[in-house]
C-alpha cells in the first residue's frame, strides 16, 4: 500500500480561497462571513499567505498568515484543521509552510489565534512552544429575547447615523486614532492613514453607514460605534468598535451608542449580536453584561516560535 502524502500549496484562485474559508468555518462554526469579507481583509494587509493542505486532492485544512500594516514585525497566524481531519499531520505541515513564509521575510515569531473552546488546538500550540499572551472573552446578545434598551445620551449629545452625516468621516478617523491605542491588546499597533482606514475599516463589504452610529455634541463628533456585517448571514452581526474620545468618557455615551446599535439591529431583522473584549477591558465587559450580553465563544492569542 502506498502511503498518502499531504501536500501544502498556496491558494491559486478564488475557488481555492473558498476552500480555505470553508475549512476555517468548519473549524470555527460560530463565525459567519463570506469570501468578499476575506478578500477585503487580505487587501488591507501588508502581506499574507493563504495555504491549503490536501491529501489525494481532498482538503484537510487551511493556514493563513497575516502581516498587518500597523504591526509589520508580528505576523498573525491561524491554522484551521476541522476536527474530522486532525491527527493526520495537516496542521504540522501547514505550520511548517507558514514558518518558511515568515522566515523568508526575516520574521521570527508568530501570534496565533485560537477559539477559546478548542482544547485540541490549544494543546497543538502549546506542544510547539506557544504561550498565552492575552484572552478576548466572547459574549452574545439574543435579540429575539429582549426589547431594545432606550437610547439615552447625556445632555447636549445626540446619536445619529453616519449615513445621515457622511461629512463626519474625518472626525470619526480622529476618534479612532485617539481611542484605538486604549483598547487592551492593541496598544502597539500603528494606526493607518485616513484614506487606508476609510477604505479598510469603514467602506468594506461588511460595513454600512446606516449601521454606524455617531455621538455628536454640537458640531463635534465625540464617539462612534460600528458593526461588521456578514455577506452570508443576515441574522448575525459583530460589534466591531465602540470608541469615545477620552475627555467624553464616563458619561454614558458608549451605552447610548450601543443601545442605538441594538435597536437598529432588532428593527432590521437581526437575531444575534456578538463581540469579544480583552479580559482586561472591564468597563466594556461590564456594559455588555448590563445590556444583556451573555458568555459566548472567545479568542485566545498566543505567541510562539516558527517551526
Determine which of 145-154, 186-195, 255-264 has the lowest per-residue pLDDT on average: 186-195
Residue 123 has pLDDT above 50, yes or no: yes
DSSP annotation of 39? H
pLDDT tens readout for residues 274-302: 999 999 999 999 999 999 999 999 999 99
Specify the pLDDT at position 3: 56
Give this prediction's pTM: 0.94
Contacts 24+ apart (CB under 8 A), 243-248: 243/175, 243/176, 243/178, 243/179, 243/180, 244/175, 244/179, 244/215, 245/175, 245/178, 245/179, 246/178, 246/179, 246/182, 247/222, 248/215, 248/217, 248/222, 248/223
Amino acid at each position: 500500500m502506498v502511503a498518502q502524502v499531504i501536500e501544502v500549496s498556496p491558494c491559486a484562485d478564488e475557488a481555492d480561497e473558498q476552500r480555505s474559508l470553508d475549512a476555517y468555518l468548519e473549524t470555527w462554526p460560530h463565525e459567519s462571513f463570506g469570501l468578499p469579507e476575506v478578500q477585503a481583509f487580505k487587501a488591507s494587509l501588508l502581506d499574507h499567505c493563504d495555504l491549503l493542505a490536501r491529501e489525494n486532492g481532498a482538503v484537510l485544512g487551511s493556514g493563513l498568515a497575516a502581516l498587518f500594516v500597523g504591526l509589520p514585525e508580528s505576523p498573525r497566524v491561524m491554522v484551521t484543521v476541522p476536527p474530522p481531519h486532525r491527527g493526520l499531520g495537516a496542521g504540522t505541515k501547514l505550520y511548517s509552510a507558514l514558518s518558511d513564509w515568515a522566515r523568508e521575510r526575516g520574521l521570527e515569531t508568530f501570534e496565533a489565534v485560537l477559539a477559546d473552546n478548542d482544547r485540541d488546538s490549544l494543546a497543538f500550540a502549546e506542544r510547539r512552544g506557544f504561550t498565552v499572551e492575552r484572552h478576548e472573552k466572547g459574549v452574545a446578545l439574543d435579540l429575539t429575547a429582549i426589547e431594545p434598551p432606550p437610547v439615552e445620551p447625556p445632555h447636549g449629545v445626540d446619536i445619529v447615523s453616519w449615513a445621515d452625516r457622511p461629512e463626519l468621516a474625518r472626525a470619526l478617523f480622529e476618534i479612532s486614532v485617539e481611542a484605538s491605542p486604549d483598547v487592551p491588546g492593541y496598544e502597539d499597533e500603528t494606526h493607518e492613514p485616513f484614506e487606508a482606514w476609510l477604505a479598510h475599516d469603514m467602506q468594506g463589504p461588511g460595513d454600512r453607514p446606516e449601521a454606524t452610529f455617531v455621538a455628536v455634541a454640537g458640531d463635534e463628533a465625540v464617539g462612534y460605534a460600528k458593526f461588521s456585517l456578514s455577506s452570508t448571514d443576515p441574522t448575525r452581526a459583530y460589534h466591531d468598535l465602540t470608541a469615545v474620545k477620552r475627555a467624553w468618557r464616563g458619561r454614558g455615551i458608549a451605552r447610548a451608542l450601543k443601545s442605538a446599535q441594538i435597536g437598529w439591529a432588532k428593527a432590521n431583522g437581526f437575531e444575534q449580536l456578538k463581540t469579544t473584549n480583552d479580559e482586561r477591558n472591564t468597563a466594556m465587559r461590564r456594559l455588555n453584561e448590563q445590556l444583556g450580553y451573555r458568555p459566548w465563544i472567545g479568542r485566545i492569542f498566543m505567541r510562539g516560535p516558527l517551526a
